[in-house]
Chains A and B, each alone.
Chain A
Amino acid sequence: MNNNMPNIIGFLCNWCSYTGADLAGTSRMKIPPSLKTIRVMCSGRIDPLFVLKSFLKGADGVMMMGCHPGDCHYQKGNYNARRRYVMMNKIFETLGLEKDRIGLWWVSASEANRFAKVTNEYTEKVKKLGSNPTKKEIFL
């Protein structure tokens, strides 16, 4: 596989985003192979430690995806997810870590287009960031 293709982990909520991703496939949209999706029941299940560990293990990018606010299959899970994302984003910012390596997007079950759009855009963004230094870092 070509080497400038970044490695992105996507934690997708089962009800909206994962279904949205399926739909993108069904509609034969072009999604970069950079993204490896992992299905969780709710974006609120995404433990900050998953994101952290993925980052420290060398993921060039981590995408958190869930239902739009108000549409959460479990009522409010995505609000929890949002706070957790904001928390990590702030920690990264304060410590001068590359905060763009982590992102949160709302993608509904019908938004195949949006799924394609954000994954492609983010892949480009991460390409610009270059490879995640944690990949080569010995002293972690």
Chain B
Amino acid sequence: MNKNIGVYVCECGPNIPERIDIDKVVNEISSMDEVKTVKKYSLMCSNDGKKFLKQEIEKEELTHVVVAACSPKDHENTFMKVCEEAGMNPYLFQIVNIREQCAWMIPDKEEATSKAIQYIQAGIHRVLFHEPLEKKELEINVDALVIGGGISGIEASLSLAGPKRKVHLVEKTDSLGGMAGKLSQILPHQGSKIKSVKEKIEQAKNNENINISTSSEVKEIRGFLGNFEAVIKSTPENGEEKEQEIKTGAVILATGFDLFDLKENPAYGYEKNENIVSALEFEDMINSEKIVLKNGKKPKSVALIHCAGRKEKGYCSKVCCLYNLKFAHYLKDNFPDIDVKELYMDLCLPHKQDQSYFDQAKEKGVEFIRMDEVVKTKSSGDQVEIEYKDNDKTDKLKADMVVVAPAMVPSKDTSHLAELLNLPLDKSGFFKELHEMLDPVATPMEGVYITGCALGPKNIPESMTQSHATSGKILSSLIPGRKIVPEVKVSKIKEELCTGCQTCLSVCFYGAISYDPFKGVSVVNEAICRGCGNCVGSCPSGAIHSKHFTYTQLYQEVLDALR
């Protein structure tokens, strides 16, 4: 097939002629035997301009088009659309940036002009090597799989489930609610009583669009936005193990957190003295309204130890201070005569109401003691003696009962799921957000989102917010009845050249490349590939090329730049 190349130089109103001698450009380019026609036009992106280009393509029977104008960022797509409308494959088009990176950069008109000519020649030689690419449209499944039946998971499910969208909610324990479900009460100043969590659970149970499987875990999961497949393994207490395969469009990880194992640091004396209890155990005491020592007596003094695990894990768990305050308030309100001391490293009172909550506790006579670390705890008589360090001086205090607040740590399944979906983890072993600031609930895997403490310590309101965010992402990307169009400029592997060394797998951040052991070659999943081309740069065999940015295409630009 013979190639008819049309080159169109846009003046962009006065912008380009100001600095570039358009006529000289047109002359130079018309002298190239590669091109069929060269024309200038005042404003290509205007409606008239687009009409003009369309007519030209048809009239001149162009097979390839080069437009020298602004940055591809501005109008590459505009002109590609025009080409498409004119019956051309839009990828046989090349835009050359002679405005931002030429006219507007180089004051000397002569220099700017000759550089523009060079750029356009490069564009022409490049476009000769362009290959027609076809957009694919994929049917999508709009359902969501929510992993983790804690408050975050429940909230996400509730805000997603609807007549057109099913939600599969998978919880590994035999009941919904997660950690929040175990709490005595949500901080009073943050509103309603614990029943609100119970309400949420009920709502979820009663929603016919939420399909709940408890005592279940996700065994396998593969796919991409709009097309995931997962295998869910259920092992109910009574009743036999069963596996079901489900299809879903998106995945939400709401796997929550576990608690720091207090035995990791003997200094806390946990389980060495029966009157040293963990915060969660104390919550149970509150629930059953029995605050008693092991000998059945009421404690006269209670010491609340913050920050257990903070030094060990290297981060602040954010919520302990507040629930310790909650404990203090509870104790003072119900047994004013109990002496309450709080040992903390740093107080974390980030929310607007927290300060007053803290001040009230002080008014009620709670004593706050700053420390660097707990050195050791030992029984002395019926009491527990805590030795702690502040700066270099150590000090001691005694109490009948000691409540230790353990740090939040990643839940056990985190690493397993990370492996299944090939997601990155942060230093502490929590899931890593795509971008801490700009994309805090997304992951490198499009269609996989994270909410709540799976990302790190959080309080309930923050978790709720994130759950809504994840739902938002899904609602906007998976619209019932719509199709999705995956990236077209993806990587392609020439099997006959692939040696199967799998270096490309290790540099692909999207898990878009897999290894076919039968053929002994790597394979790109075009629906996942984003076309970054890192694999191309890593392949020693030259077996991979990224469509529309092939070696030959780019090398043409190099050659012309050096001519």
Q: Which residues of B in the span 310-354 have a Cβ within 8 Å of any Cβ on A?
A: none
Number of A residues, CB within 8 Å of B:
45
**C-beta contact mask, B550-563 vs A, less than 8 Å → 1, else 0?**
01001101110110
Contacts of B507 in A (CB 8 A): 44, 80
Contacts of B111 in A (CB 8 A): 1, 5, 33
Whether A77 contacts B107 by the Cβ 8 Å rule is: no
Considering the chains assembled together, what is the distance between the CA atoms of A42 and B507 in angstroms? Answer: 13
Q: Which of A7, A19, A25 is close to B561, meaning CB atoms less than 8 Å apart?
A: A7
Which of A52-60, A89-97, A99-107, A121-129 binds B?
Answer: A52-60
Considering the chains assembled together, what is the distance between the CA atoms of A28 and B111 in angstroms? Answer: 15
Q: A7-B562, A41-B489, A75-B509 are in contact. Are A26 and B537 (CB under 8 A)?
A: no
Whether A59 contacts B537 by the Cβ 8 Å rule is: no
Indicate if A47 sits at the interface (CB-CB under 8 A). yes
Whether B118 contacts A40 by the Cβ 8 Å rule is: no
Q: Which residue of A lies closest to B555 (CB)?
A: A53
Whether A31 contacts B118 by the Cβ 8 Å rule is: no
Q: A22-B100, A74-B509 are in contact. Are A44 and B534 (CB under 8 A)?
A: yes
Q: A9-B562, A36-B561 are in contact. Are A44 and B104 (CB under 8 A)?
A: no
Q: Which of A9, A42, A48 is close to B533, meaning CB atoms less than 8 Å apart?
A: A42
Considering the chains assembled together, what is the distance between the CA atoms of A19 and B489 in angstroms? Answer: 19
Indicate if A46 sits at the interface (CB-CB under 8 A). yes
**C-beta contact mask, A100-123 vs B, less than 8 Å → 1, else 0?**
000000000000000000000000
Q: Which residue of A lies closest to B559 (CB)?
A: A57
Q: Which of A31, A36, A47, A57 is close to B537, meaning CB atoms less than 8 Å apart?
A: A47
Indicate if B77 sits at the interface (CB-CB under 8 A). no
Whether B534 contacts A22 by the Cβ 8 Å rule is: no
Contacts of B530 in A (CB 8 A): 74
Q: A1-B111, A44-B534 are in contact. Are A38 and B101 (CB under 8 A)?
A: no
Interface of A is mostly: mixed
Most chain A C-beta atoms within 10 Å of own C-beta, residue among B73, B114, B532: B532
Q: Which of B100, B119, B533, B558 is close to A25, meaning CB atoms less than 8 Å apart?
A: B100
Contacts of A42 in B (CB 8 A): 532-534
Indicate if A45 sits at the interface (CB-CB under 8 A). yes
Q: Which of A1, A29, A32, A45 is close to B114, meaning CB atoms less than 8 Å apart?
A: A1
Whether A59 contacts B562 by the Cβ 8 Å rule is: yes
Indicate if A131 sits at the interface (CB-CB under 8 A). no
Contacts of B428 in A (CB 8 A): none
Number of B residues, CB within 8 Å of A:
46
Most chain B C-beta atoms within 10 Å of own C-beta, residue among A23, A39, A45: A45
Contacts of B532 in A (CB 8 A): 41-42, 44-45, 73-74, 77
Shortest distance in angstroms between B100's beta carbon and chain A's nearest beta carbon?
3
Indicate if A84 sits at the interface (CB-CB under 8 A). yes
Whether A25 contacts B105 by the Cβ 8 Å rule is: yes
Shortest distance in angstroms between B301's beta carbon and chain A's nearest beta carbon?
49
Q: A45-B533, A45-B537, A80-B538 are in contact. Are A30 and B558 (CB under 8 A)?
A: no
Whether A33 contacts B100 by the Cβ 8 Å rule is: no
Whether B107 contacts A30 by the Cβ 8 Å rule is: yes
Whether A77 contacts B534 by the Cβ 8 Å rule is: yes
Indicate if B221 sits at the interface (CB-CB under 8 A). no
Whether A24 contacts B105 by the Cβ 8 Å rule is: yes
Indicate if B500 sits at the interface (CB-CB under 8 A). no
Whether A38 contacts B537 by the Cβ 8 Å rule is: no
Q: Which residue of A lies closest to B436 (CB)?
A: A70
Contacts of A25 in B (CB 8 A): 71, 99-105
Shortest distance in angstroms between B365's beta carbon and chain A's nearest beta carbon?
48
Contacts of B125 in A (CB 8 A): none
Contacts of B536 in A (CB 8 A): 45, 47
Q: A36-B115, A74-B532, A77-B532 are in contact. Are A28 and B104 (CB under 8 A)?
A: yes
Q: Which residue of A lies closest to B556 (CB)?
A: A38
Contacts of A76 in B (CB 8 A): 509
Considering the chains assembled together, what is the distance between the CA atoms of A23 and B100 in angstroms? Answer: 7
Indicate if B515 sits at the interface (CB-CB under 8 A). no
Whether B558 contacts A9 by the Cβ 8 Å rule is: yes
Shortest distance in angstroms between B126's beta carbon and chain A's nearest beta carbon?
10
A-B contacts, 21 of them at CB < 8 A, read A1-B110, A22-B97, A22-B101, A25-B99, A26-B104, A30-B105, A33-B115, A36-B115, A36-B557, A40-B549, A41-B531, A42-B533, A44-B533, A47-B536, A54-B558, A57-B559, A74-B509, A74-B532, A75-B434, A77-B534, A84-B537
Assuming A25-B100, A40-B554, what are 19 further A-B pairs, CB within 8 angstroms?
Answer: A1-B110, A7-B562, A9-B562, A21-B100, A22-B73, A22-B97, A25-B101, A26-B100, A29-B105, A36-B557, A38-B561, A39-B72, A40-B549, A41-B489, A41-B532, A44-B507, A44-B537, A45-B532, A45-B537
